[in-house]
Structure formats: C-alpha cells, structure tokens
Structure 1
C-alpha cells in the first residue's frame, strides 16, 4: 500500500510574479491574488509567468495572502514547493524499509535543539541516537538533482552541527527529499554554493550519512506526495 501525504481541496491557478521572497502573485478565476510561498529557494526553473500552480486556501487569520502555494508544474509533472510538508514526508521515508541507515530507529522528537540550531528529527534505537536534518530539493536537470538553488548559510550551519554531533556520540544524517520523478542522481550544487558543498563533503567524510530520496507529486482530485526511490549521491568531481 502506498503511503502518501494527502493535501485536500487544491485550487488551480497560474503564476504571475514574485513580489518578495515569500509572496507570489497568481491568477485565480481570472483575478490577481496573493499567495504565501513557503520555499526560500530561487525556483527559477519553476517560477515562470503563466506556469500552472496549485494552491490551497489559507487558514483563517490576520495575513495578507489568501492562499498557500503547494506545487508548480515542470513539464509533465508537479513539483512540491511547500516545506511545511517536508517533515511528514521525511517521516514516511524514515519509517519505511527503504533506507538502511534508519533501520532499527524510531522517531523520538521533531524539532530537536542542538547547538545553535533546531534539527528536524531526533531518532533513537535501543542504544543509539541519531540526528536527521531534512532538505527539500526542487532543482532537477535531466536526471541530476542539485541542492541548493541559492546560497544557504543556514543550511551550511545545519551540516556543521551534524558533523559536530558525531563527537558527542550521536549518529547523524542529512536527508534530501528530491521532488522530481526523473531524478536518478543527487549532487551538492558546488557552482551555486561552494561553501555548502564543501561542508557537506567534509561531513560525509567524517561519518555523516548523506541520503537522497526522490518524491512524486500527483494531482488526482487531491494532491498526493509520496516517496519513489533512493537515488545515488554524486560529488562535484564525479559523473554518473
């Protein structure tokens, strides 16, 4: 049985522009509306005027945006661009049998404070603890997924915290959720952020697990987002 995150009552629209980092203007039913974009990346391959967009009505409250952005179209597929669902998707991956590194561990706590950061998950087994940081990756070129699509000092700090945790008797993993059905490989985007790329490689060489897992986003009445497969990690000086 497929396990998926289900997002109900989607609304179709089209993308107009991005007035600021977390707000986009969209056409819905022929009118210009504002929607909250919960993804700090540049998303240049997705935020194209006229591109199809999936929205959800925002919950009641005092906010300027009427909708939340859920997904954008890329070719013949939808791409999730809402980090609010990453935690539940990561939990599905970790609780499945798809990734050997998570076998024997259970989720102990979400949003675990460690050092100067809040790490997405603390896992526990009978005699070990593991920190897991989750990153969403939307940039896919042919079969290669790249992260990040914009420089990320915060992301680099998380990786450094995971490496430091090894010295305090934690195991550590970073899980990249790759939103693209065609992705077969993952690589840090050294051209975009060499500091993040170098930090990730150092952490990997120190013992941090670097795991990438592709995800699919389907629209069939509701939006379904579900894991596909683990994909190989390549480093910038390697090729498929």
Structure 2
C-alpha cells in the first residue's frame, strides 16, 4: 500500500477529545487533524513525535487532514489509522502474501453473522472448501519488542471472540488476524495486564478451533506491506 499523494510531516502538540489532534507543520502552521483511532494509543501520541498525515480532497470535511502514522522520537513507525489494518489484510490476501489464507477465489467484506449481531471483516469462499471468517485487529501497543492487544478493555473484542468460537463449532474456518502496525514489535501476546477476560477468551478460542494469525507490516511514511509472520504466546 503506497500513500498517494505522499503523506506530509508535522510535530504533535496534543491529542484530545479522542478524535482530534493539534500539530505544527515545518513552516510553523498549526493544524487540527482528524484522529481515526478510538483506542488509548499508549505510546503512539507523545507530544513532540512526528505525525505523518494525509489530506482529503472532500471539501465537505470539517477536518480535511487525517493522522496516519506516528514516527516516535526513537525512530519507530506506528500506523494509528485503524482503518488501514483491514485494507492491508485485504491487500495481502489478494496478493497471496498470507500462506494460510491462499486458495480462495471470493472475498467478501462486512458480512453479517453470529448470534450477537456482528459483522465479520472478511469472508473467504471457494468451491469444496469451508467458508473462512476473518476478524482483523490492529496491534500498536508495544513494550520494547513485545506487542499487545488490546490497549484498553474491549467488550466488542470479547464479543468477536465468542462469535468466532461459534463459527469454529460449525466446522467453518474462524480466523483472528492480528495486524501488527508498529515497527518495534517482534513478538505478540494478549494484554492480560489490561483485559484479562479478553486474554482468557482468546486462549479458550484457540483451544476450540479458532486460528490465530499474527503478521507485521513493513512500515514507513511512504508505504506499508503486511507479509512478515510473528511468533505469538497465547
């Protein structure tokens, strides 16, 4: 995935009201950006970090600029736009970059499923193969080279795990796909210290047939590609 037009840099002043951030450009102009991330963004929003932002051509947008990537003072890149995770996974599946998900000829997005009224991120289909349900999660929380999910208690994430367990029980493939969007991360674990119930549900889900995939993006201010499998301790 290449950023076109190229992202522009600025220095982060502050993030506030969850969806907004103030930055100052290299020529001294202060801008307010849309922040497309509802999470805690721990370690991703430190004042003084470099923010790489895109600009929409939609004249109706109140905030035309979108925060895409954080470049930390230590030089790490973090994609904070959670919408990019699904786009990267879709691109990787289409390009056959994920060996575990090859061999399907139909990909559908946002398909309704489950007893709790969910929508699966992706459904893969092929003749004479069980349908494959894929739920995508973005991983940006890091402690040194350890990556964690979630970065806050997630009732929605717990619901998705219950739905995937139900899918696996029918004999269809149920896949939880963690897209690691932080260049410092080299391994993955559920964040038991933040949401122990989610961690326990994830462990139970794997025991009941839910497949867990963890792939890391090669990430810069110019482009992103999801293709490196990471070890996981569940």
TM-score for both structures, normalised by structure 2: 0.90
Aligned to 1:37: 35
Residue by residue over 1:38-73, the C-alpha shift from the partner in whole angstroms, topping out at 9 and shown as x without a partner, is 112211212111110001113324333231011001
Identify the range of structure 1 (35-44 vs 89-98) with the bigger mean alpha-carbon deviation: 89-98
Contact kept, 8 Å, 1:34 with 1:64, in 2: the verdict is no
1:210 aligned residue? 212
Moved more, 127-136 or 28-37: 28-37
SS at match of 2:152: coil
Distance in 2 of aligned mates of 1:19 and 1:184: 30
What SS does structure 2 have at the residue aligned with 1:43?
coil
Structure 1 residue 209, shift from structure 2 partner: 0.5
Q: Deviations over 1:131-165 (max 9, x none)?
A: 00111111122221101111111111112111111
- 3-state SS, counterpart of residue 133 of structure 1: strand
CA contact (8 A) 1:16 1:49 kept: yes
Aligned residue pairs total 229
Give 1 or 2: higher strand fraction.
1
1:97, distance to aligned residue in structure 2 (A):
4.9
Match of 2:111 in 1: 112
| C-alpha distance in 1 between matches for 2:198 and 2:4 | 32
Which position in structure 2 is the counterpart of 1:27? Answer: 24
Q: Does 1:149 align with 2:151?
A: yes
d(CA) in 2 for partners of 1:32, 1:59? 19
Output aligned runs, 1:181-192, within 5 Å: 181-192=183-194
Distance 2:47 2:40 in 1: 14
SS, match of residue 230 in structure 2:
strand
Deviations 1:81-135 (A, max 9, x none): 1122222210233245554431322442011111211110000122210100111
Deviating more after overlay: 132-141 vs 103-112: 103-112
Q: Provide closer, same or farther for how the CA distance between residues 175 and 24 of structure 1 changes in structure 2, counting only shifts above 3 A.
A: same
Distance 1:201 1:80, change over 3 A: same
1:53 to 51, 55, 68: 51
Gaps of 5+ in 2: none
Query: What secondary structure, in the 3-state scheme, does the structure 1 residue paired with 2:3 have?
Result: strand
TM-score, structure 1 length as denominator?
Answer: 0.88
> Are the equivalent residues in 2 in contact too, given 1:163–1:203 (CA < 8 A)?
yes
What's the counterpart of residue 123 of structure 2? Answer: 122
Shift of the 77–108 alpha-carbon distance from structure 1 to 2, 3 Å rule, reads same
Structure 1: any 5+ residue segments left out of the alignment? Answer: 236-240
- The answer to whether the 8 Å contact 1:140/1:146 transfers is yes
Partner of 1:11: 8
User: Secondary structure of 1:232's partner?
Assistant: coil
Report matched runs for 1:89-238 at 5 Å: 89-115=88-114, 116-127=117-128, 128-219=130-221, 223-235=222-234
Counterpart residue number, 1:73: 71
Change (3 A) 1:6 1:31: closer
